[in-house]
Amino acid sequence: MNVHDSDAGILPVIAKSRNLPSGASSPRHSHPMTAQLLYAVEGVMVVSTEAGEWIVPPTRAIWVPCGTGHCSRMLTAVRLRTLHISAEVARTLPDKPCVLAVTPLLRELILAAMDIQPGYSAESRDGRVMALLLDEIHRLPSLPLALPLPASPDLREVCERLRETPEDTTSVEEWARRLTIDPRTLQRRFARETGLSCARWRRQARLIAALEQLALGRRVIDVALDLGYESPTAFSAMFKRELGSSPSDFKKGAG
């Protein structure tokens, strides 16, 4: 694992920007002195850790705690804006990776932070912008865009199969039979190791697969049918329930 330190260890927040082409990726690395908030002004990226995978569409950001090994890949061209947040400040923020909704106010604060150079004082205008930015991060709701992976090899094998073929409709009872365990035992172990029920994990795997395919420009109707939904209407209803916007609106933002 490549380990990178940031120069944000002294200041509460340092902001950095990069524009990356579709298909770009980073090797697995960590930032032991800082946490990160990764935000795509435009485009869609996937961030992976040992614990799972997170997809980050426009208007969303991913929180990566200090020392968390992670790698990323760009599903489309991405205008990436990153906040490096000192370990001391990050103690009051989530201790696990999560996807967060970005409010209009936070978006503008992140963009303003890109023009703030290291060396600002807490009492200055720049310091007050950074303080307000942190206040806004504290109140962000998390979103169901994570796909946590279990530690047990047998359950991880099931999850890898569902990630590769999210349209798979194999029942919990059938998976339990293949693993030679009781279905209720499978459900309990799955919930304990991932924090999600089997049904909820499967829905999120489908949602993430849908986001990836839509980001690549596929038609809504094709994505819906390929993922096993009875109709585009049923797919759109699920999508809006989970993300608060329609698949068509998401495609416009991901372009």
Q: What is the pLDDT of residues 22-78, one digit of tens each?
A: 889 999 999 999 999 999 888 888 898 887 888 887 778 999 999 999 999 998 889
Determine how many CB atoms are found less than 10 A away from the CB of residue 194: 23
- Structure-block tokens of residue 179: 């693993």
pLDDT of residue 167: 87
Statement: residue 95 has pLDDT above 90: no
pTM over 0.75: no
pLDDT of residue 82: 95
Residue 10 pLDDT class (50, 70, 90 cuts): low
**What is the C-alpha radius of gyration for the chain, rounded to an integer number of angstroms?**
19
Burial of 165 (0-12, 13-18, 19+ CB in 10 A): middle
Averaging pLDDT over each range in 14-18, 74-78, 205-209, which range is the top one?
Answer: 14-18
The pLDDT tens digits of the residues spanning 169-205 come to 899 999 999 999 999 999 999 999 998 899 989 988 8
Determine how many CB atoms are found less than 10 A away from the CB of residue 195: 14
Residue 171, helix vs strand vs coil = coil
Determine how many CB atoms are found less than 10 A away from the CB of residue 14: 22
Instruction: Give alpha helix (H) positions in 97-243.
Output: 104-113, 125-138, 153-164, 172-179, 183-194, 198-215, 220-226, 232-243
Statement: residue 213 has pLDDT above 90: no
The pLDDT tens digits of the residues spanning 96-147 come to 888 888 889 999 999 999 999 988 998 999 999 999 999 999 888 777 667 8
> Which one is the CATH code of 150-254: 3.40.50.300, 1.10.10.60, 1.20.1250.20, 1.10.1780.10?
1.10.10.60
CA distance 137 to 79: 20
Q: How far is CA 235 from the centre of its chain?
A: 21
One-letter identity of residue 208: I
Count how many Cα atoms sit within 13 Å of the Cα of residue 76 in the half-sphere of its side chain: 24
Sign, Cα dihedral of 231, 233, 234, 238 = positive
Average pLDDT over residues 219-236: 92
pLDDT of residue 236: 92
CA distance 205 to 167: 9
Domain boundaries of the chain, sorted by first residue: 2-138, 150-254
pLDDT of residue 152: 93
pLDDT of residue 127: 94
Statement: residue 8 has pLDDT above 70: no
One-letter identity of residue 111: L
Average pLDDT over residues 206-213: 86
CA distance 139 to 142: 10
DSSP class of residue 248? Answer: H
pLDDT of residue 181: 93
Residue 16, helix vs strand vs coil = strand
CA distance 54 to 71: 11
Residue 18 pLDDT class (50, 70, 90 cuts): very high
Residue 227, helix vs strand vs coil = coil
Q: Which fold has domain 2-138?
A: Jelly Rolls (2.60.120)
Q: Mutual orientation of helices 153-164 and 172-179 as an angle, nearest 10°?
A: 140
Determine how many CB atoms are found less than 10 A away from the CB of residue 108: 13
